[in-house]
Structure 1
Amino acid sequence: MGRRVLIVEDNELNLKLFCDLLRAHNFVVEPVRDGREAVTRVRKFHPDLIIMDIQMPYVSGYDLILEMMSDKNLRTIPIMAVTAYAGPDDEERIRAAGAQSYISKPITLARFLDGVNALL
């Protein structure tokens, strides 16, 4: 059985791309389209890695990272932020919140897979 990756992404095309790419590399993938469901789904799915969009409606990925890092049962799961935010201050702030990796959109497939494999 492959490593488990939960993807929190509200953009359908990005979500499909990430899921298809990871499944093609033998990962077990759980897509989450609405950030409001993310923490509950993490608890049920028990991922080895979380890929987190930052800019989403209703709740930001940044706030979700903070929430997960405050939970002793979730804080050990590595988080890779994938975001359209591109400023150096944004990356610093997102990493300070608890994301172990940060990739700006648009992504390259090789850089995305390298980021995933580096955390696993």
Structure 2
Amino acid sequence: MGTTLQSDSGSVTRILLVEDNDINRQLMTDYLKYCGYEVFSVAKGESFAAAMTQFHPHLVLLDLKLPDIDGYTLLQQIQQTPDWSKIPVIVVSAFAFQADQQRALNLGACRYLVKPVKLPELIRAISEELSYLAV
């Protein structure tokens, strides 16, 4: 599983993780790195724009409940920024209600995974979304 995953440009696939829970953030970061992804993680929504601009992720993993800005607002920012709007966003949230899921999908998220997420399911969702980009 330690193989390096290549993007279209030949560089390692970059994932931006937006997660305020320290344990969840560290666990997902470690697992994604183990799976061969390059990961940059932020704990607050206020760091999101700078991370998007400097890191240029191929995919975003987004928690909806953040301490400063909610994930819905970040989804709107992504859709309103032409350079970001083509980047797939997978929401990983404890909000399990259908209304929350539908709202996130309506705002441009491509998938919605409910916490606690099974790590193999997360990797499968990431791989599938990145394969859509390659087509």
Q: TM-score range by the shorter chain?
A: over 0.9
User: 1:23 & 1:87 partners in 2: Cα distance?
Assistant: 30
Whether the 8 Å CA contact 1:35–1:61 is kept in 2: the answer is yes
Aligned partner of 2:51 in structure 1 is: 41
Aligned length in residues? 120
Larger radius of gyration: 2
Aligned partner of 1:110 in structure 2 is: 120
Unaligned runs of 5+ residues in structure 2 are 1-10, 131-135
User: 2:56 & 2:15 partners in 1: Cα distance?
Assistant: 9
Stretches (4+) displaced over 2 A? none
Correspondence 1:5 to 2:15: yes
SS in 1 for 2:126: helix
Unaligned runs of 5+ residues in structure 1 are none
Q: TM-score, with normalisation over the residues of structure 1?
A: 0.97
Matches within 5 A, 1:1-120: 1-120=11-130
CA RMSD in angstroms, aligned pairs only: 0.8
Q: TM-score, with normalisation over the residues of structure 2?
A: 0.86
